[in-house]
Structure 1
Amino acid sequence: MTTRKEHLRKRKGRRRGNHRVALIIGVSAGVVFLCAAAGILVWNIFLNRPAAEDTVREYFELLNAGEYGQMYGFLSSDSQNEISEEDFVSRNQNIYEGIGASDIKVDIPEEENPSREDTETVTYTTSMNTAAGALEFKNQMTLVKNGDSDYRIDWDSTLIFPSLLTDYRVSLDTVSAKRGTIYDRNGNILASQGTVSQVGLVPGKMSENREADIQKIAEILEISAESISAALNASYVQDDTFVPLKQIPKDDTEKEEQLLQIAGVLISDAEARVYPLGEAAGHLTGYVQSITAEELEEKQTEGYTSTSVIGKSGLEAAFEDRLRAVDGIAVNVVNSAGKVIETLVSQEAHDGEDIYVTIDSSVQQTAYEQFASDRGTAAAMNPLTGEVLALVSAPGYDPNEFVMGLSDTRWNELNSSEDMPLNSRFQSTWVPGSTFKGITAAVGVESGRIIPDENLGYVGLSWQADAGWGDYYVTTLTDYGTEVNLRNALVYSDNIYFARAALNIGGDVMKDYFGKMGFGEELPFALSLQQSTYDDDGNIDSDIQLADTGYGQGRLLVNPVHLLSMYSMFVNGGNMILPVLELEEGYTPQIWKEQVVSAATAETVKNDLIQVVEDPTGTGASAKIDGVTMLGKTGTAEIKESQDDTEGIERGWFICETIDAAEKPIAVVGMVEDVKQLGGSSYVTGKVREIVEGYAGI
């Protein structure tokens, strides 16, 4: 067989145009015209025949589309005798798809007069994207004329890669990199690479009661018996093969003991992402899982591969770009002895960055323990710096379950539960109830529409602005006497006072301050938070809605973290602090909304909110901690179809903020979705008190 170099030498020695000259040499002048015309006709037919380059281009177009079977049809008869279609398809598919080849392109230098010899050699450049990065190389393809028509390819494995001989193979070798660890403010681990137990089976060591044992294992691991059987029946499995089934926590000794009683079960250590706080911080940390096909398509230019893991939610997703590990990958040509002949393309391994966040694990744990039995949320923050100390959603989920693999039963249980454990409540918005009275007070005092010491006069426990309200009345619970001023309205949580105050403030002024406080605006925070709103269309459509808004009802929806930021103006001279999650050494606190109210207004309202806790008759008196001065506000938001509805629920709230805890200032907000049968907002007040007391160390 002629070698490629011999073909190339023959081609270099050819002279262009000889065919056309032979048609006219040695003929008389009278015949020249006809011969020349005939020569032009023959030349046009010759030019219209497919060139070897056309075959090369079509072949690579099919390769780029993954049409390996059609590619085989381009091979010469001799090549097809050397390799079967099945082997050809298998070799090409395994190599190209194994290395993640895509966007395959071939560049063939243009020739002014391409030849149509029986045997042609085409030199070209191939480029493609792979799992290890972009790859480009030069190659040559020998083609033979298929009768009088088109060309067929003289194929061997070097047409895949020039150094790939028939008995060589292509390997995709990886060097694992480590995903970054997430630490809390004190260096405690929130998420890291750790050790779990990998449960698997060795088929050759299983007992004769194979089906019964599989059923036992399925029950213990909470997976289907069918999935175990399918794993055991995989084509690669031999009697001595370890067949992995599921990972379980390293400390689940009870489950390990049960499994090891079954013949053939083997448990070994494996590395996985672990979350030490479990469900106490599940919504905060989030979790990682294998990248999906859709995510890979979206991020294929960012170095992700089909084996990558990616942050799906929480901190794992928020800091994905910095936490992610980029494994080292090399596409190698390996000979039959396993020696690397050539590294075609490679990418170095890069460990992910460690991230430190402002969270305090002990506050996070305490907050979750207080709210774990309820449907609710809690958030804690240093009100002077904006550093968030805890973010809790209850009930939560254990992110370790997602990493180790959820059974269908467990997934359905989580997804269909009425308690909605997959819903991140601290990222949502809620009707704030009377906690919003502190904000209405600040707006009213700052705008001059509330005179703090002014007595608005006693109007009873049920009130409406005028007869135009029909059957609608604003009601309040406590008859605290005839001194109806701002202090008493806050201490006793008087709905009627704040409904009247809101009407005095007016809708336009109220909306102006909503804008100043960041309503309808995304809070710049590491985790996505729903925007607080006061109406779907940005309007306050009636006096009734305005009155209800004044005491935290109406169409008002507030995010808990945003509420902490609004309350921070009472200890920051009227400025709203920016909540932050990433810990930075020497951090300078940032103001999110500057001078929402004056320092004097903030001080006035702060002093009255302190009395909510300090006054023994105040609604927040049960939050009192000896030796700690703090402001606070309770809240009960009624969620019902109409004013006469007795079946509605009551959201219970409490927000507080320490005033004189110079070393460890803290603000905490807590909410339970329904406290109607639990004692109202006082049920939440006790929980929040425990969080503050635990942090203060008293």
Structure 2
Amino acid sequence: MNASVRSAPLGAHDSAAHDEPTRDELPFIEKRLALLFGCFVMVMTLFGLQSYKLTVIEGSVYTDRSENNFLSELPLIAPRGQILDRYGAPLAINEPSFEIRMSPFRLKPDEIRATGRRVAELLGRPDINQRAEKVLSLAYAWQSTSLVQNLSLDQVLPIQEQGFMLPGVIITPHTRRVYPAGELTGHITGHVGHISPEEKAQFRARGYLNQELVGKLAAELAFEDLLHGRAGSEIVERDAYGRPRSSYVDQPAQPGNALYLTLDLGLQRLAHALLGDYHGAIIVMDPRDGAVLAAVDRPGYDPNRPTRGQQYSKLILSPSAKGFPPGSTFKVVTAAAGLTAGFAPTDSVNCDGAYHLAGIRFPCHLRWGHDWENLYDALQHSCNVFFYRWAHLAGVRNMAAMAAGFGFGQPTGFELAPPGKEGGATLVNPNLTRVPTGKVLQMGIGQGELIGVTPIQMARAYAALCNGGKLFKPRILHEVRTAQGERIRVGQPEEQGALPLAEEHRRQILEGLRRVAQEPGGTGSRAGFNKAWRVAGKTGTAETGIPGKPSNAWFCGFAPFENPEVLVIVMVEQAGHGGDVAAPLARQLLAFYFGEPEPVIQPAIGEDKKPAQSGD
């Protein structure tokens, strides 16, 4: 029996034998699998740890970062403190104002330009298109730039209503500084302006924002630290297209303090009206403490439009560094120098119309002379010859020393003067000995190159003369209150010294000033002061040194004579005689002060164009 057997292909057994690992290969394979599994577990563990770190340990950090991609912090500029007169009448206030800014956050250039065009159309301001181009050049997407400022609520409403169509637009509320009295108080309030490039480092160190307004002149500058508030911040939430969705105040802005000045706006308004279009200055002061009740300077300027008008003030500065010649109002200093040198008030000098020195004639304003005059007569009639004589005998040292004792030739410290810039005053050095006698004579009647003054210096000097001899620093600050009305500071009188004048001598001079205003023949009596006011004062007619030009008219007066409570200084440039021009203006101011207001009447200034002789 034969059986056929099919043989397997060559090598088949060998291939089958290699499909399964041999007993020797198993340990090696198991090690590789264990290593691979270990690596897998390690990777998953690292992923898990990192996930835990990101979501649990540092989750809040990344959440904040994510949210802040849609949040931006904007500064809230603090409202500036108000400035008011002593009775609360507004002199500098804030009105609502709006600024439109734009940010390129998540916006394409075409979207930025389209938004700029739309804003320009809504406001009727084609120039906004150019400003929108600046948005494209911002270094960081979260920055913003201003498109337009100082918009009213009516102007900004269309922008607000269409905000959903204006991606990147931010409406920021501000306040605009407004001066209700305008030019009437321009030299008192001053004005504000943007921080200049030269000032940036200084104000940044004091915590200011670059876009804040700062005081540039007068009270706004002098009281910057009191008026400036503290800026806050606002958080604005945007959608993915950069459009604002909501906002909240993160840090409220703290308004500046309210300043109450010593000024009486009613008296200020009258003084301004009395000067009218004439150049000059008027100061009304309380001589008991140096408080300024009115201070008008013409020509003036409107702080609402600070680039127009004359910003320097004659009250503390003058057109030249020399100051104004005081004319016969300075004769009280000559009288004080003579009395202190030992002259008697009853000593008489014969005035025949001129004083003669080395063949030179120094004229009196009364060409035919006053005859024999003592100190009281000479003050009453403003006799030049008498004061030439006393200045000659007293000498330049005594004259200069007494003038310095009255506060001339030095700053008054008036708060409105720019720091270190109060000027407009001249006084000869008391140590000089070789001064021509003719110049000393001229100084004796308030003329010449040895003496120049400002109205505020004259106010300080006459206040000291009538208040018992105390030189008070002129002041304008009455009190300071917080925005909530809490009084935090009250202005205080500051004595700067005392007149170097015996009380007896002071009273003798005052008697002469009483006669000026109250006795017939007094150079101030023509003004018609009410006798009940008990006015005393001194007129002045100061030559300007400009050929053919009328003299400056002065009057320095106070009332009541026995216990003065109000002082008036009037100086009108190139107006003529002090008794005819300045004294009548002072009368109207005193009438208002004493509750007997008169119709505003301006004297006929400058009708007689002939230069008035220095004296009355």
Fold equivalence (TM over 0.5): yes
Q: Is the 8 A contact 1:435 1:633 kept in 2?
A: yes
Counterpart for residue 441 of structure 2: 547
Q: 1:537 to 1:575 in 2, by over 3 A?
A: closer
Shift of 1:183: 1.9
Q: Given the superposition, is the C-alpha separation of residues 400 and 536 from structure 1 closer, same or farther in structure 2, using an over 3 Å criterion? A: farther
1:633 aligns with 2:538: yes
Residue equivalent to 2:338: 444
1:501 CA displacement: 0.8
Residue from 517, 523, 533 that aligns with 1:619: 523
Task: Say what the alpha-carbon RMSD is for the aligned residues.
Answer: 4.0
CA distance in 2, matches of 1:422, 1:396: 7
Residue 39 (structure 2) aligns with = none
Whether the aligned pair in 2 keeps the contact of 1:569 and 1:602 (CA below 8 Å) is no
Matched ranges for 1:394-413 at <5 A: 394-402=298-306, 411=307
- The whole-number CA distance in structure 1 between the counterparts of 2:589 and 2:550 is 25
Q: In the alignment, what sits opposite 1:48? A: none
Q: For residue 461 of structure 1, what is the aligned residue in structure 2?
A: 353
Q: Equivalents in 1 of 2:426, 2:406: separation in Å?
A: 11
Paired AA for residue 282 in structure 2: A
Does the 8 Å contact 2:396/2:430 carry over to 1? no
CA contact (8 A) 2:288 2:467 kept: yes
User: Partners of 1:424 and 1:521 in 2: how far apart?
Assistant: 17
Q: Which amino acid aligns with 2:398?
A: V
Provide the residue aligned with 2:4 in structure 1: none
The answer to whether the aligner puts 1:666 opposite 2:566 as a matched pair is yes
CA shift at 1:162, angstroms?
12
1:230 aligns to 2:122 (yes or no) = no
* CA gap 1:586/1:301 in 2 versus in 1, 3 angstroms: closer
**SS at structure 1 position matched to 2:533:** coil
Measured in 1, the distance between the counterparts of 2:312 and 2:400 equals 30
Secondary structure (helix, strand or coil) at the match of 2:496 reads strand
Q: 1:181 to 1:588 in 2, by over 3 A?
A: closer
Instruction: Kindly indicate whether structure 1 or structure 2 has the higher relative contact order, using CA contacts under 8 Å at least 6 residues apart.
Output: 2
Identify the residue that residue 24 of structure 2 maps to in structure 1. Answer: none
Q: Which residue of 2 aligns with 1:280?
A: 184
C-alpha distance in 1, partners of 2:151/2:70? 33
Paired amino acid for 2:567: A
Deviation readout 1:62-114 (Å, 9 max, x if unpaired): xxxxxxxxxxxxxxxxxxxxxxxxxxxxxxxxxxxxxxxxxxxxxxxxxxxxx
The runs of 5 or more residues in structure 2 that have no matched partner are: 1-42, 47-60, 101-115, 135-145, 155-172, 245-249, 318-322, 480-488, 597-616
- What letter is aligned with 2:534? T
C-alpha distance in 1, partners of 2:284/2:348? 35
SS of alignment partner, residue 192 of structure 1:
strand
Structure 1 Cα separation of the partners of residues 242 and 126 of structure 2? 33
Cα separation, partners in 2 of 1:599 and 1:561, compared to 1, 3 Å: same
Tell me the equivalent position of 1:484: 373
How far residue 586 of structure 1 moved from its aligned partner, in angstroms, is: 7.7
Counterpart position of 1:513: 402
The equivalences for 1:487-502 within 5 A come to: 487-502=376-391
The answer to whether the aligner puts 1:190 opposite 2:91 as a matched pair is yes
Aligned counterpart in structure 2 of residue 384 of structure 1, from 260, 271, 288: 288
User: Per-residue CA shift, 1:367-423, capped at 9, x if unaligned?
Assistant: 111113111111110111211111111121111224xxxxxxxx4xx36xxxxx333
Aligned-partner Cα distance in 2 for 1:167–1:391? 54
Q: C-alpha displacement at 1:335, in angstroms? A: 8.5
**Could you tell me which residue of structure 2 aligns to residue 371 of structure 1?**
275
Contact 1:633 1:655 in 2 (8 A): yes
Asked whether the equivalents of residues 198 and 248 of structure 1 are also in contact (C-alpha less than 8 Å), the reply is: no
CA distance in 1, matches of 2:153, 2:78: 22
Cα 1:570/1:332, change in 2 over 3 Å: same
Contact 2:326 2:540 in 1 (8 A): yes
Contact (CA 8 Å) 2:73, 2:234: kept in 1 or not? Answer: yes
Name the CA distance, whole Å, in 1 between partners of 2:511 and 2:152. Answer: 53
**Match of residue 301 from structure 1:** 205
Give the SS at the match of 2:300: coil
Looking at structure 2, the residues matched to 580 and 323 of structure 1 have their Cα atoms a distance apart, in angstroms, of 17
Output the amino acid matched with 1:605: I
- Structure 1 CA distance, aligned partners of 2:68 and 2:475? 59
Q: CA deviation at 1:314?
A: 0.9
The Cα of 1:230 is off from its aligned counterpart by 2.4
Shift of 1:233: 4.7
- For 1:321 and 1:205, how far apart are their aligned partners in 2? 37
Structure-2 residue corresponding to 1:534: 427
Aligned to 2:470: 575
Deviation at 1:661, TM superposition (A): 8.3
Q: Which amino acid aligns with 1:381?
A: M
1:689 and 2:583 aligned = no
> Which residue in the other structure is 1:524 paired with?
413
Letter in 1 for 2:569: V
Q: Give the TM-score of the pair, scaled to structure 2.
A: 0.68
Q: Distance in 2 between matches of 1:361 and 1:491?
A: 33
- State the Cα distance separating 1:456 from its structure 2 match: 1.3
1:31-430 mapped onto 2 (5 Å cutoff): 164=65, 168=69, 171-194=72-95, 229-231=126-128, 233-235=130-132, 271-329=175-233, 336=240, 349-402=253-306, 411=307, 414=308, 421-428=310-317, 429-430=323-324
Tell me, yes or no, if the aligned pair for 1:168 and 1:333 is still in contact at 8 Å: no
1:564-621: per-residue Cα shift (whole Å, max 9, x none)?
Answer: 1111233222332332221158866443222421221111110110110112221111
Separation in 1, partners of 2:288, 2:386: 30
Query: Any stretches of 5+ residues in structure 1 without a counterpart?
Result: 1-5, 10-157, 215-227, 251-268, 341-345, 403-410, 416-420
Going from structure 1 to structure 2, the CA distance change for 1:248 and 1:561 (only over 3 Å counts) comes to: farther
Cα distance, 1:172 vs. partner? 3.5
Contact map agreement 2:354 2:367 (CA 8 A) in 1: no
How far apart are residue 671 of structure 1 and its match? 0.9
Q: For residues 490 and 234 of structure 2, what CA distance do their matches in structure 1 show?
A: 42
SS of match in other structure, 1:400 = coil
Alignment partners' CA distance in 2, 1:378 and 1:196? 35
The answer on 1:564 being equivalent to 2:459 is yes
Instruction: Write the letter of the residue equivalent to 1:438.
Output: V
CA distance 1:561–1:352, shift in 2 (3 Å): same
1:657 pairs, out of 541, 549, 558, with 558
The structure-2 alpha-carbon separation of the partners of 1:680 and 1:442, relative to structure 1 and needing over 3 Å to count, comes to: closer
Give 1:465's aligned amino acid. L
Q: Evaluate the alpha carbon distance shift between residue 231 and residue 674 of structure 1 in structure 2; reply closer, same or farther with a 3 A threshold.
A: farther
Asked whether the 8 Å contact 1:326–1:351 carries over to 2, the reply is yes
> Partners in 2 of 1:249 and 1:379 — Cα distance?
40
Q: Aligned with 1:583: secondary structure?
A: strand
Distance 1:166 1:595, change over 3 A: closer
Give the superposition deviation at 1:659: 2.2
Alpha-carbon distance change, 578 to 169 in structure 1, aligned in 2, over 3 angstroms: same
Quick check: 1:281–1:392 contact (8 Å CA) kept in 2?
yes
* Distance 1:560-1:309 versus aligned 2 partners, 3 A rule: same
Could you tell me which amino acid in structure 2 is paired with residue 349 of structure 1? Answer: A
Amino acid at match of 1:365: R
TM-score if structure 1 supplies the norm length?
A: 0.60
Specify the alignment match of 2:38 in structure 1: none
